[in-house]
Structure 1
């Protein structure tokens, strides 16, 4: 089937016997064109199936009303909620969103960055992939005064907007919760330590142990590369095969924590009596696994909304992209059945 020819402003100008510049101004509701003419032109454009060429406009202006998002894995509940927050805010302002995922691969992230740069996005929201240690591929944006907002997984050295949570305090409180339940040998699924989120959660875990005069045992600390379900299962088996297995576990995400619950139950370990477990993120799976998983809240939607707002503010104020601004949001411990070992029913969240 032959492709139908795209209708242009020149076709509209010929149809209505006016200049292309008049068509262009009317389509953009310019005040120099009368309301009657504007209505007639816009109606004809609609009837003939005219579509504005936003790419051409962005090439002329070196800017588009599009926000790019670079994330690790779109199927993670935290990430999908983050994207939802970005889109809610962007669409209200008349902006579109382009989403790219790296699957935690550095090479994919570099390629995605180039594609978004070539698309002339107005701003970029980034949550770094697991493998990313160097963010030089993002300098092309700041060199052209395109703002970048790092959210959740952020680099140590790169002037930018940052929207984060207090990962250190969250890690400390999660560990302290297990200690309050009577746990003495607390294990930790730590994640890739070059990423700030996992590094700070581990530091909070370690300091909580030290402050409570509990021994830091290296064999109980496992650095999982991807924090996947499979890694969580393998790590749990490793812990349970120790001569002295842990009686508590703080996992830096819910995926590995849920895997730990299921793996421990398969081996006949009672949760939480023999092994109390707390995760991180409050993913939907946390409340449906049996027993329900205690976790740390992660305000993903709000983080997305704030990230998009920073892009919009930057565009309206014509600010220099070389900024350093941090927005830090609070978290809270959500206590469920997987970690409640002592008789404190008033602390138990209904599930």
Structure 2
């Protein structure tokens, strides 16, 4: 015999039990000031006892908006992204909002599908960091056209009116490269990400300009383009670089993952870090301080970026901002010097 499903409790069930009107029940459950404190307490306690759950889907259908904030990111297992999500979630929860998270796995088609799913869920705003493959951002226009705020973080589009929370990637890369030069490096390789994404293009430009400013001619053979800046790509690139007739004496990587793999590969080949090869990464992921020697890197305030992104979404609703608003928030970074690059003490 199959089990009978539990009955869904509605405000009408609570109204019948307490002999109040459904409208009174509804207002009391929302802590409306028109309902007395004692009545509100009685209704809420009865609702809890009966197992009542508010129908947020019905509410979102009525209002054409929910109290859910969507997060659309590339890979949830990256420390930067995890910290970003924590920042969004902490701020959202404090304001009484929920968070819906989806990841694209750095795949454009997945990102388009996820954006549609979040839109159909009637999110009240979205925090997004583009996938490595994304060149067309038309799938975000559906949000903007309906005045649903979109806040892009880190990997941001350059041709869409939206909120953007970023760091000065050019300046950070310049400082990272200059640090290696100050340690005596003269042949510095760069692990570059996808160049259609502004974040990686700016990091490459900062690297090149720092070399030129110190009278070091950029060498195209030392500029390594990667698809995802993965551990495997970093390992393969480092092996090729170290097998060159004139190998590099420094590596600036656009993320920590590829930088850590460079250290490990160099150590396997008997190359001394940092004496023969100085390495600096980007993001200050937890693994940067675990690897031996510890990785020098660039701080990336992911948690704060998440908090500010949520703030922008909530402010947009409160201030009734105009459609298509464009606003950029730029956060500071710093060079974190550790043993992987520090030759001069």
How far 1:263 moved relative to its partner?
A: 0.4
In 2, the alpha carbon distance for the partners of 1:184 and 1:29 equals 67
- Corresponding residue number in structure 2 for 1:267: 269
From 302, 308, 316, the equivalent of 1:306 is: 308
Q: Is the 8 A contact 1:297 1:334 kept in 2?
A: yes
How far 1:38 moved relative to its partner?
A: 2.0
- Corresponding residue number in structure 1 for 2:73: 71
Normalization by structure 2: what TM-score? 0.98
How far 1:16 moved relative to its partner?
A: 1.9
- Corresponding residue number in structure 1 for 2:228: 226
- Corresponding residue number in structure 1 for 2:137: 135
In 2, the alpha carbon distance for the partners of 1:305 and 1:42 equals 32
Q: Which consecutive residues of structure 1, in runs of 5 or more, have no partner in the other structure?
A: 345-351
Q: Is the 8 A contact 1:160 1:321 kept in 2?
A: no
In 2, the alpha carbon distance for the partners of 1:42 and 1:29 equals 9
In 2, the alpha carbon distance for the partners of 1:142 and 1:11 equals 40
How far 1:30 moved relative to its partner?
A: 2.2
In the alignment of these two chains, the number of paired residues is: 343
- Corresponding residue number in structure 2 for 1:319: 321
How far 1:321 moved relative to its partner?
A: 3.2
How far 1:240 moved relative to its partner?
A: 0.9
Q: Given the alignment of the two structures, is residue 257 of structure 1 paired with residue 252 of structure 2, yes or no?
A: no
In 1, the alpha carbon distance for the partners of 2:32 and 2:255 equals 52
- Corresponding residue number in structure 2 for 1:349: none
In 2, the alpha carbon distance for the partners of 1:213 and 1:304 equals 39
In 2, the alpha carbon distance for the partners of 1:299 and 1:23 equals 45
In 1, the alpha carbon distance for the partners of 2:103 and 2:180 equals 35
In 2, the alpha carbon distance for the partners of 1:326 and 1:36 equals 48
Normalization by structure 1: what TM-score? 0.96
In 2, the alpha carbon distance for the partners of 1:196 and 1:57 equals 39
Give the ranges of 4+ consecutive aligned residues of structure 1 lying more than 4 Å apart after TM superposition: none
In 2, the alpha carbon distance for the partners of 1:111 and 1:241 equals 43
Q: Given the alignment of the two structures, is residue 5 of structure 1 paired with residue 7 of structure 2, yes or no?
A: yes
Q: Which consecutive residues of structure 2, in runs of 5 or more, have no partner in the other structure?
A: none
- Corresponding residue number in structure 1 for 2:38: 36
